[in-house]
Structure 1
Amino acid sequence: MVFAITLIGIVVFDRSRAIRSRVLASFCFIPLFLLIFSTQSRATFGALIVGLAIVFANRKKVFLFFLIIVAVAVMYSPVKNRFYAMYDSPPDIRLAMTLTAIEVVKDYPITGIGYGHGIYYSKIDVDGYSNRLPERYRPKTALYKEPHNGPINIAVKTGIVGLALYLGIIVIFLKICIHLVREGKSWFVKNYARAVLGGFVSFLFTGLFEPAYAYVPTGVFFLILSMGTILDRLNREENEAIK
């Protein structure tokens, strides 16, 4: 989904292509959108809208077009039941997982419990920590192996120190992308930076509700960082050429 947003921005903004070519290439994203809708994930749809809003911030008609497509698709697909369930169901299991993870951070505030697959369940008594919660927030079913919140997950495993370093990377990269969008020396840098920024923010949004830092998602995270870094380097080289 993150790459769908990034690639959409790149295809639409690529002025080296004819309009007919860009329209044809846009149809290639239909399988990606079908994959997104098949997940029936509310976080994914939220991230899709947020990402597209950034990519098409200066092209409101294009964003409105995509927004209408997404809204119609949601209304005529089973995923709408997932949104209705938000108002009829008890507190979400993700809330219980997040609150339980916060209790763990209180006991391991500096360095966390350690980083590794499955360490969350193998090293600590998760059920014991969940029993600390008020009755209304205690999970009614078994918790997952990882907190479904990226920053909280990092805080659990690496403590406040690791969380601070992570947030530092996020802030610096966002500043780089925003600078490139506003002050890029060429349309190529500006528009591709906007596409990368849209994909990055959609990744962060999804990471608030999903385990975003495991295996494949981690690879996506570093690929986006790499793309932004390459654009920044290109912009610096153009700066030097102008001087």
Structure 2
Amino acid sequence: MDHAVDAANLGVAAAGDLSLWGLFMQASLVVKLVMIGLIVCSVWVWAIVFDKIVTLRRINQQATTFEDKFWSGGSLDDLYEAEGAKPAHPLAAVFGAAMGEWRRSARIPGVDLLRGGVQERVDRAMSITITREMERLERWMIFLATIGPVAPFIGLFGTVWGIMHSFSSIAAMHNTNLSVVAPGISEALFATAIGLVTAIPAVIAYNVISNSLSHFQDRMEGFGTEFAAILSRQSEERA
């Protein structure tokens, strides 16, 4: 009888510490590992989000500055030497790839720049560069896409495990008092809460960042189309 009373008293004492830290410390080892894993994933999600936001803002500003120089009417050769030869941002890389291919073709004796082969090589150079730059910009996006749907289930696993552990404790103590059940249930539900806190920002960030990346890809492709038309007109003027 004394053992049952002591167990109930312990349950009451534990129930008093329902702070976040208390819930973590009272959780079983498996639930703790789940919580730690989800917290690490959450920190990594926010690190990726911050990096992508800063990167997208920077490359859009650089692209705007570059387009201003491009459409200012200056020499394309001078612009290539200044920014295209050693590009520091994606749009300059697209320009550099196309301009470099066109200049190499122009230096070959007897090559007709109006031929479709030259234009195809220029288009292919820009297409490959756009693909490469987008792959670099989309790095770690698969992590956001994975954590979004998976994190709630990881948290749910921790919840199920915690509830099973609580029921085992109840059976061992032969006491169904709420003060005994509440701490274990709270610890278990805390794992699901962490899973949701990790998943929701990941899903929102993935959708927003993916949309921004898609817009930037369209911007590069539009610039490539316009630049290809300019090179075609210059070829006709030289002919």
**TM-score, normalized by the shorter chain, greater than 0.5:** no
The alignment's TM-score, normalised by the length of structure 2, stands at 0.24
Q: TM-score, normalised by structure 1?
A: 0.24
Q: Which has the higher helix share?
A: 2
Which structure: larger Rg?
2
Between 1 and 2, higher relative CO (CA 8 Å, sep ≥ 6) is seen in 2
